Structure 1
Amino acid sequence: MLRTLSLQLHSAITGSYISGTHSIVFVNCPNEQIARDIARAILAKKLAASVNILPKTSSLFFWKGEIEEATEILLLIKTKTSKVLKLSSFIRLVHPFEIPEVFSLPMDQGDVHYLKWLEEGMEED
């Protein structure tokens, strides 16, 4: 929490972006309707500012000792790194998979106007 506040203060004072302040969270869903429902719920709770829904990814994975194959929908969720844990917990609550795929990568750089827009999209009312 203290790190997040110091990063926000540094960014505000210098007008520069601190690498890792935002993250992209990847989540696979079983179909497009569930992907849309999860995306809307995430946005409604202001856990992210933007969600891309990428259609029909082919997934191969081990599940209970067997190789499985499925067609899934990929969510790319743009959020603050400080919200990733809360976002992951929320996804586990609403996702139909026993163990949903949820992982994140920090954003290294980005357009300052876009990153400012991300911040504004997650501000609490």
Structure 2
Amino acid sequence: MNCWCQRCQGPPQNGHRSTWILVLLVIIGSCMHPILKSIFSQIHSAITGSYISGSHSLVFVNCPNEQIAKEIARGILEKRLAASMNIMPRTSVLSIWDGEIEESTEILLIIRTNTFKISELFAYIR
């Protein structure tokens, strides 16, 4: 008997019990505080071997020079706001400023972090 399409009669069988426990954990996990939700997502990923969308993010930060990019990167790592990052050397930037096309260079910092840490990361960068 398929529990998803028909009502289950009597106590759940072993296969159905684990399914219902998993469904219950997903419902509970989705209603939690962001930090608890992240921990739940990591446990779920470890048990099932699957990736949960939205648990990790990439943040792109433009820096005026390499020294500032390295200072920001070190501070982020010291505060454990990200797992790792890349400092891309000298990227060209074309933009419109006061109605004119301008060309400049910047250093691009690519940060890999947990999504629940983004607001704290943004506050630190500001």
TM-score range, shorter chain: 0.5 to 0.7
Q: Distance between the aligned counterparts of 2:100 and 2:40, measured in 1?
A: 47
CA shift at 1:5, angstroms? 3.9
The answer for the alignment partner of 1:7 in structure 2 is 41
Alignment equivalent of 2:96, drawn from 49, 62, 67 = 62
TM-score when scaled to structure 1? 0.65
The residue type paired with residue 69 of structure 1 is E
Q: Distance between the aligned counterparts of 1:29 and 1:75, measured in 2?
A: 7
| Mapping for residues 13-32 of structure 1, pairs under 5 Å | 13-32=47-66
SS at match of 1:68: strand
CA shift at 1:65, angstroms? 5.0
The residue type paired with residue 73 of structure 2 is A
Work out the percentage of aligned pairs sharing the same amino acid: 65
The residue type paired with residue 53 of structure 1 is I
Q: Given the alignment of the two structures, is residue 35 of structure 1 paired with residue 69 of structure 2, yes or no?
A: yes
TM-score when scaled to structure 2? 0.64
CA offsets 1:79-115 (integer angstroms, 9 cap, x no match):
11111121112111xxxxxxxxxxxxxxxxxxxxxxx
Q: Distance between the aligned counterparts of 1:79 and 1:89, measured in 2?
A: 14
The residue type paired with residue 26 of structure 1 is F
C-alpha distance 62-17 of structure 1, shift in aligned 2 (>3 A): same
CA RMSD of superposed structures (Å): 1.8
| Structure 2: runs of 5 or more not aligned | 1-33
Structure with the larger strand share: 1
Which runs of structure 1 show a deviation greater than 6 angstroms over 4 or more consecutive aligned residues?
none
| Structure 1: runs of 5 or more not aligned | 93-125
CA shift at 1:15, angstroms? 2.8
More relative contact order, 1 or 2 (CA 8 Å, 6+ apart): 1
CA offsets 1:25-51 (integer angstroms, 9 cap, x no match):
111100111111111011111000111
SS at match of 2:62: strand
Q: Distance between the aligned counterparts of 2:44 and 2:84, measured in 1?
A: 24
